[in-house]
C-alpha cells in the first residue's frame, strides 16, 4: 500500500474539501455577519484563518514531497490527525459562541456550519489515518494482528474506567454539601483533560482497528488466511445486512419502526440489499489464477466500490461516536461496519491491481479500474437525469405548454418519478436523516429540482392529470397565494390617503397611496395585515416603502419566488422583524402584506403608482381618487410605442372603434378520463344542439383527458370518442386554455361558447379562474357544464370557476364588441365597456427600458403587453423569463414575476439575493414553498441533528457525572 502515501491524494482529500468548506462558510458568513456580535465575528475569522493556514501548510508539504518524489511521512500524518481533530473539537465546544442562540435565524444558514466542518474534514482525518497505518504496516514485513485487536477492544473499556475514576474523584471533591454547585478550576482542568483524552484515545482506537484490518488482509497463510472466508462474510455481508436491518426497523422489534425512513436515512430500497449481497459475493470469491478472469473480477469489484464508498462517506462524520455508542448502545459497533468494509475493499482492489499489472499493461488495468469505479455514479446520475427529463416535460406540458402542439407524457414513468420526488422532499427528521437518503437526496434535489421543490399542490395536480389519482390535496386559496384572511382580530386599515402629480414628460400620472395599519385591539402581538388591491387597466406599481422604526425602508424589487420565500421565513421566526411584501396575485390584482403589527403601534406603508388617466382605487372598502381629469388632457387616441406591438386603448378611444356582432358556436369539451361513461354523451349533446344558438355557427368538439384532441370539423365526434381510451384525468384547465388560445391567435367572426361534458365536475382539474385570458372572451365570461342530468349549468371564467352562477344571460346572447383596429381586418376584439384595454397587434419583443428612455409608463406598457403575450405563449417562459425579470428590475416596475420586498436588515437582504440567484437559475415551474401554509424554517440538506447528537454523546458521561450530586 505504498501508493497510498502518494502526496497527490492529499490534494484530493484535504486541499479540495478544505477549499470548498472555506468557500461555503465564507458565503454564509457574508450573509449573517451583520447579525453577529464582535466576539463571534472574531471567532469566525480566527477559525477560518487557522483552517486556511493548516490547509496551505498541508498543500505546500504535499507539493514539496511530490516534487521530491517522496511519500508522505508518518509524523506529518500524526500532526494532521491531532491538529484537525483539535480544531474540530474546539469548534464544536465553541459553536454557541460562533452562532449565539437567537442571533441568527436558522433559515439564513442553508446548511449547519458545524455539520459542514465535520463532513468536509473527516476525509482528511480518514486519509491521514490510512497513511499512518500504511507507514507503520509495510507489506514486506511480518505483523501480528492480535495486539492491535486487543488495544482496539480495550479502548472503550478504558473510556468507561476513566469516566468512573473522574466521577469518583469529583464526588469526593464536592462532598455532600447542599449548596448549589459552582464550577471551579478543577472542572476546567478535568474538562480539558477529558476532551484531549477523548481525541487521543479515539484516534488510537481507529489506528489500531484499521491497522488490524490491514494486517489481517495482508496474511497469505496462517489463521487469518485459513479463516478468510469467515471474516470476509462477516465484514462484507453480515454486518452490512444487519446494519440495514437495524436502520430500517426490521430488527429489534419495537425499538425502531419499519417504514420508509430510518435512523441514518431511508435505505429501504431493495437495491441496497441487492448491492450488499453482490458486493459480498465479489469480495468473497477467491482470486482467480487466470488473468482474464481476474481482470473481470477487478472490473466487478470496482463497479460495486461505489456502494462501499457511499456508506463509508455517510458514516464518516459519525465515526468519532463509535466508542461512546459501543458503551451506551449495544448496536453501536455497527457504526464501524462501513469503515471495516472500506478497508477490506480497498485492500482487495490494491491486490487485484498489483497482480494484474504483472500481466497486462498499466493502461489496461487502469481503464478497468476507472471504468468500474464509474459504473454506480454514472448509473445514479443517469437515473436522476431521466427523472429530471420526465418531470420537466410534465411540468412544461402543464405550466408552460405550447398550445399549438400536442405532447404525450408517459404516465407510468411520471408516477415513478413523482414517488421519488416525494421521497426526497419529505422532511421527516426521524432521529437523524428520516426518509431522505444522505447525499443522494441532496444530489437528486440539485440535479432534478434545481435546489428548489415541488409543492404538494402541483404534485397532486400532476397525479390527477396523468394518473387520475389524487393525494387528497385540494387547491384552496391560502397562505402562499396571498389571499387576504379577514378577521375581526386581524390588523386593519386605519387610514388611506392618496396624492397625485401629472408628469408632462411621461404624459402620465404619478400617484402615492399612503396607508396606516393598526390592530383593532391593543393586545394583539405579531399580527399580519393582508389585503388584495385591484389595479385599473394601464396602472403599474413603480415603488414601495415600509416604515421600519424611524426610517422609511424602500422595497427591493426581487424575483417573486425568492421574495415570497424570504417573507415566509421571517414570518416563521415569530419575532418582531419587519418585512412588507407587494406582489401580483393574478391579472390586475396585487396583494399587500405587512408584518408584524403589534399592540397599539401604527404601521405605515406607501405605494407609488403610474397611470395614464385619472382613476379610482378601492382598498378594504375605501375608495381613493387618483389624478384629476381637469389637470390633463383626455386620452382620445390609442397610445403605443412604434414597432412595439402593444397599444393602450382608452375608454374614449375605444368608443370610436366599430361595433360588430360575432356568431357564437358551441365548443364541447368531452370528458374522456378514466371511469367516465362517455356512451351517454351523445344523447346529452344532441339535446343541447336541438336548441341551437341564435345565429349560431356549427358546433366543434374536443376530446379531453390528460391531452386535448380536437375533432376535425365535419368528422364524426362520437366515433372518435369511442376509439379514444378512457385514461388519465379530466384536464379541463388545459382544454379551456387551448380553445382560448385559438380564439386569441386567430380572431374570427365567430367565438366559442364552451361546454364541459362530464359526469362529475369535482374530479376535473380546473383552475380557479382564467382572468389572464380575458382578452380571448370579450363577449362573455360564461362557460357551461353539461352534467349527467342533462342541464347546462353556467360558470364563470373570471372567478371561482367551480362554483355555478346563480344567474347568467342565455347562451350565445347577442353581444356587440369593438373591432381593433378596423372591422374589415380586425386583429383583436375588445369588450364594449367603459374601461381601457391593452391590445396586442403583433408579437412583442422582450422589453428593454432603453426602448423608451425617460418614460417609465411606456416601459410599464411594454412589460404588461409582453406578459399578456406570454400568457398565451407560456412555452417562451424558460427562454425569456430572465430577460423579462431583468427588464422589470431595470425599470423598477412590478410584474407578475417580481415582488417588492421591504426588509429590516442587511442580513435579510443578503439572504434574499442568495435565494434569488437560486430561483433565477431554476425551472420556472418549481416552487420554494408549499401553497397552503408557511413551512417551518428548517436546515436543509441533512440537517444539524447529527452534530447535536455527536456533542451530546461525546459529553454524555461528563454531564451525567456532574448531575449526580444534584440528584442526591
- Residue found by looking up cell 393602450 in the block: 648
Report whether pLDDT(966) > 60.
no
Torsion of CA 499, 502, 505, 510, to 10 degrees: 30
Q: What are phi and psi of 154, to 5 degrees?
A: -70, -30
- The grid coordinates listed for 503 are 408628469
Helix axis angle, 337-356 to 362-373, nearest 10°: 150
Confidence of residue 474 (pLDDT cuts 50, 70, 90): very low
Report whether pLDDT(192) > 70.
no
Q: Tell me: the pLDDT tens digits for 905-927?
A: 999 999 999 999 999 999 999 99
Q: How far is CA 556 from the centre of its chain?
A: 23
d(CA 834, CA 952): 71
Report whether pLDDT(892) > 90.
yes
> What is residue 195's predicted lDDT score, i.e. its pLDDT?
66
Q: Which residue has the higher pLDDT, 175 or 140?
A: 140
Contact 827, 841 (CB under 8 A): yes
What SS3 state is found at 492? strand
Lowest mean pLDDT among 433-442, 588-597, 618-627, 768-777: 433-442
Q: Which H or E element spans position 512?
A: strand 508-518
- Residue found by looking up cell 386599515 in the block: 493
d(CA 778, CA 871): 16
> Average pLDDT, stretch 608-634?
94
> What is residue 433's predicted lDDT score, i.e. its pLDDT?
53
Lowest mean pLDDT among 56-70, 138-152, 632-646: 138-152
Lowest mean pLDDT among 14-23, 401-410, 894-903, 912-921: 401-410
- CB neighbours (10 Å) of residue 488? 7
Q: Which residue has the higher pLDDT, 519 or 475?
A: 519
> What is residue 184's predicted lDDT score, i.e. its pLDDT?
57
- Output DSSP code: residue 643: T
pTM, two decimal places: 0.86
Q: Which of 717, 688, 694 is nearest to 790 (CA)?
A: 688
Report whether pLDDT(472) > 70.
no
Confidence of residue 950 (pLDDT cuts 50, 70, 90): very low
Q: Tell me: the pLDDT tens digits for 383-428?
A: 999 999 999 999 999 999 999 888 889 999 999 999 999 888 765 4
> What is residue 315's predicted lDDT score, i.e. its pLDDT?
86
**Rounded percentage of the chain residues whose pLDDT exceeds 90:** 61
Q: Which of 502, 536, 403 is nearest to 838 (CA)?
A: 536
What SS3 state is found at 10? helix
> What is residue 853's predicted lDDT score, i.e. its pLDDT?
53
- Residue found by looking up cell 376584439 in the block: 829
Report whether pLDDT(256) > 50.
no
Q: What is the mean pLDDT of the chain?
A: 86
Confidence of residue 249 (pLDDT cuts 50, 70, 90): confident
Confidence of residue 149 (pLDDT cuts 50, 70, 90): confident
b/e map 267-285, b = 16+ CB within 10 Å: bbeeebbebbeebbebbbe
Q: Which of 722, 684, 730 is nearest to 704 (CA)?
A: 730
> What is residue 130's predicted lDDT score, i.e. its pLDDT?
86
> What is residue 191's predicted lDDT score, i.e. its pLDDT?
64
Q: Which residue has the higher pLDDT, 182 or 771?
A: 771
Q: Tell me: the pLDDT tens digits for 99-123?
A: 998 888 888 988 888 888 988 998 8
What SS3 state is found at 762? helix
> Average pLDDT, stretch 566-579?
83
> What is residue 259's predicted lDDT score, i.e. its pLDDT?
56
Lowest mean pLDDT among 29-43, 156-170, 416-430, 769-783: 156-170
Report whether pLDDT(34) > 60.
yes
- The grid coordinates listed for 172 are 469526593
Q: Which residue has the higher pLDDT, 316 or 742?
A: 742
Lowest mean pLDDT among 45-49, 355-359, 482-486: 482-486
Q: Which H or E element spans position 859?
A: helix 856-872
Q: Which H or E element spans position 664?
A: strand 663-671
Report whether pLDDT(225) > 50.
yes
Q: Tell me: the pLDDT tens digits for 717-732?
A: 999 999 999 999 999 9
Q: Which of 302, 277, 306 is nearest to 377 (CA)?
A: 306
What is the DSSP code string of 513-570?
A: EEEEEE-SSTT--SEEEEEEEEPPTTEEEEEEEEEETTEEEEPEEEEHHHHHHHHHHH
Lowest mean pLDDT among 183-192, 305-314, 927-936: 183-192
> Average pLDDT, stretch 352-377?
94
Contact 31, 108 (CB under 8 A): yes
> Average pLDDT, stretch 529-537?
96
Strand partners, 757: 670, 786
Amino acid at each position: 500500500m505504498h501508493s497510498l502515501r502518494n502526496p497527490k491524494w492529499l490534494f484530493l482529500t484535504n486541499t479540495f474539501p478544505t477549499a470548498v468548506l472555506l468557500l461555503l462558510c465564507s458565503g454564509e458568513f457574508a450573509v449573517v455577519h451583520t447579525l453577529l456580535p464582535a466576539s463571534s465575528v472574531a471567532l469566525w475569522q480566527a477559525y477560518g484563518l487557522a483552517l486556511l493556514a493548516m490547509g496551505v501548510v498541508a498543500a505546500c508539504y504535499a507539493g514539496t514531497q511530490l516534487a521530491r518524489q517522496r511519500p508522505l511521512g508518518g509524523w506529518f500524518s500524526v500532526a494532521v490527525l491531532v491538529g484537525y481533530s483539535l480544531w474540530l473539537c474546539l469548534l464544536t465546544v465553541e459553536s454557541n459562541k460562533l452562532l449565539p442562540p437567537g442571533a441568527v435565524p436558522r433559515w439564513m444558514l442553508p446548511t449547519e456550519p458545524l455539520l459542514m466542518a465535520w463532513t468536509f474534514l473527516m476525509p482528511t482525518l480518514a486519509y491521514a489515518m490510512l497513511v499512518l497505518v500504511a507507514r507503520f504496516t509495510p507489506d514486506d514485513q511480518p505483523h501480528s494482528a492480535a495486539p492491535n485487536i486487543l488495544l482496539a477492544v480495550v479502548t472503550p473499556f478504558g473510556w468507561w474506567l476513566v469516566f468512573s475514576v473522574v466521577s469518583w474523584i469529583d464526588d469526593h471533591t464536592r462532598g455532600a454539601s447542599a449548596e448549589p454547585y459552582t464550577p471551579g478550576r478543577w472542572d476546567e482542568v478535568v474538562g480539558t483533560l477529558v476532551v484531549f483524552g477523548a481525541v487521543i484515545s479515539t484516534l488510537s482506537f481507529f489506528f489500531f482497528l484499521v491497522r488490524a484490518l490491514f494486517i489481517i488482509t495482508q496474511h497469505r497463510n496462517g489463521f487469518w488466511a485459513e479463516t478468510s472466508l469467515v471474516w470476509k462474510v462477516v465484514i462484507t455481508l453480515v454486518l452490512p445486512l444487519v446494519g440495514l436491518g437495524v436502520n430500517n426497523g426490521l430488527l429489534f422489534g419495537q425499538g425502531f419502526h419499519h417504514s420508509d425512513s430510518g435512523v441514518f436515512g431511508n435505505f429501504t430500497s431493495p437495491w441496497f440489499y441487492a448491492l450488499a449481497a453482490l458486493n459480498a459475493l465479489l469480495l468473497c470469491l477467491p482470486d482467480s489464477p487466470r488473468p482474464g478472469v481476474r481482470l473481470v473480477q477487478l472490473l466487478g469489484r470496482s463497479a460495486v466500490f461505489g456502494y462501499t464508498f457511499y456508506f463509508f462517506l455517510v458514516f464518516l462524520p459519525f465515526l468519532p461516536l463509535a466508542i461512546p455508542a459501543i458503551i451506551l448502545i449495544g448496536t453501536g459497533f455497527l457504526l464501524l461496519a462501513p469503515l471495516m468494509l472500506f478497508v477490506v475493499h480497498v485492500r482487495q482492489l490494491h491486490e487485484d491491481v498489483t497482480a494484474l499489472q504483472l500481466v497486462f499493461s498499466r493502461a489496461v488495468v487502469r481503464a478497468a479500474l476507472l471504468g468500474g469505479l464509474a459504473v454506480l455514479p454514472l448509473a445514479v446520475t443517469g437515473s436522476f437525469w431521466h427523472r429530471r427529463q420526465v418531470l420537466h416535460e410534465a411540468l412544461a406540458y402543464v405550466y408552460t405548454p405550447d398550445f399549438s402542439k400536442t405532447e404525450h407524457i408517459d404516465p407510468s414513468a411520471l408516477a415513478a418519478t413523482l414517488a421519488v420526488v416525494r421521497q426526497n422532499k419529505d422532511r421527516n427528521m426521524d432521529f437523524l436523516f428520516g426518509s431522505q437518503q444522505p447525499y443522494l437526496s441532496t444530489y437528486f434535489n440539485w440535479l432534478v429540482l434545481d435546489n428548489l421543490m415541488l409543492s404538494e399542490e402541483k404534485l397532486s395536480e400532476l397525479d390527477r392529470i396523468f394518473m387520475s389519482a389524487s393525494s387528497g390535496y385540494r387547491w384552496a386559496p391560502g397562505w402562499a397565494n396571498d389571499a387576504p384572511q379577514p378577521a375581526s382580530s386581524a390588523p386593519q386599515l386605519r387610514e388611506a390617503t392618496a396624492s397625485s402629480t401629472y408628469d408632462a414628460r411621461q404624459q402620465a400620472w404619478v400617484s402615492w397611496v399612503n396607508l396606516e395599519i393598526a390592530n383593532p385591539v391593543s393586545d394583539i402581538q405579531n399580527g399580519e395585515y393582508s389585503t388584495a388591491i385591484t389595479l385599473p387597466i394601464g396602472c403599474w406599481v413603480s415603488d414601495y416603502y415600509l416604515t421600519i422604526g424611524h426610517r422609511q425602508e424602500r422595497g427591493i424589487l426581487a424575483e417573486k419566488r425568492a421574495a415570497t420565500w424570504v417573507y415566509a421565513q421571517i414570518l416563521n421566526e415569530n419575532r418582531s422583524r419587519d418585512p412588507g411584501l407587494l406582489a401580483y396575485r393574478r391579472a390586475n390584482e396585487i396583494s399587500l402584506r405587512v408584518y408584524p403589527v403589534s399592540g397599539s403601534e401604527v404601521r405605515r406603508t406607501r405605494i407609488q403608482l403610474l397611470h395614464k388617466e385619472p382613476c379610482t382605487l378601492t382598498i378594504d372598502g375605501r375608495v381613493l381618487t387618483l389624478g384629476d381629469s381637469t389637470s390633463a388632457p383626455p386620452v382620445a387616441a390609442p397610445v403605443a410605442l412604434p414597432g412595439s406591438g402593444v397599444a393602450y386603448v382608452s375608454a374614449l378611444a375605444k368608443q370610436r372603434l366599430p361595433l360588430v356582432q360575432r356568431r357564437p358556436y358551441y365548443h364541447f369539451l368531452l370528458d374522456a378520463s378514466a371511469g367516465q361513461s362517455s356512451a351517454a354523451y351523445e344523447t346529452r349533446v344532441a339535446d343541447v344542439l336541438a336548441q341551437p344558438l341564435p345565429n349560431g355557427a356549427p358546433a366543434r368538439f374536443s376530446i379531453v383527458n390528460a391531452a386535448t384532441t380536437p375533432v376535425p370539423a365535419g368528422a364524426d365526434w362520437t366515433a372518435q370518442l369511442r376509439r379514444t381510451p378512457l385514461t388519465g384525468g379530466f384536464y379541463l384547465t388545459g382544454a379551456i386554455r387551448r380553445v382560448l388560445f385559438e380564439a386569441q391567435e386567430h380572431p374570427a367572426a365567430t367565438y366559442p361558447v364552451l361546454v364541459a361534458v362530464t359526469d362529475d365536475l369535482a374530479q376535473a382539474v380546473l383552475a380557479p379562474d382564467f382572468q389572464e385570458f380575458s382578452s380571448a372572451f370579450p363577449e362573455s365570461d360564461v362557460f357551461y357544464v353539461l352534467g349527467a342530468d342533462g342541464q347546462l349549468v353556467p360558470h364563470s371564467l373570471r372567478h371561482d370557476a367551480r362554483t355555478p352562477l346563480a344567474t347568467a344571460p342565455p347562451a350565445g346572447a347577442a353581444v356587440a364588441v369593438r373591432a381593433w383596429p378596423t372591422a374589415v381586418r380586425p386583429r383583436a376584439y375588445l369588450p364594449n365597456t367603459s374601461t381601457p384595454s391593452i391590445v396586442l397587434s403583433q408579437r412583442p419583443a422582450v422589453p428593454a427600458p432603453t426602448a423608451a428612455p425617460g418614460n417609465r409608463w411606456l416601459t410599464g406598457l411594454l412589460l404588461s403587453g409582453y406578459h399578456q403575450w406570454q400568457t398565451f405563449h407560456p412555452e417562451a417562459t424558460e427562454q425569456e423569463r430572465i430577460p423579462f425579470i431583468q427588464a422589470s428590475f431595470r425599470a423598477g416596475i412590478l410584474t407578475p414575476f417580481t415582488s417588492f420586498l421591504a426588509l429590516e436588515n442587511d442580513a435579510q437582504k443578503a439572504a434574499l439575493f442568495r435565494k434569488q440567484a437560486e430561483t433565477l437559475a431554476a425551472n420556472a415551474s418549481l416552487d420554494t414553498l408549499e401553497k397552503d401554509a408557511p413551512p417551518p424554517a428548517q436546515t436543509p440538506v441533512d440537517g444539524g441533528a447529527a452534530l447535536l447528537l455527536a456533542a451530546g454523546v461525546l459529553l454524555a458521561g461528563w454531564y451525567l457525572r456532574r448531575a449526580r450530586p444534584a440528584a442526591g
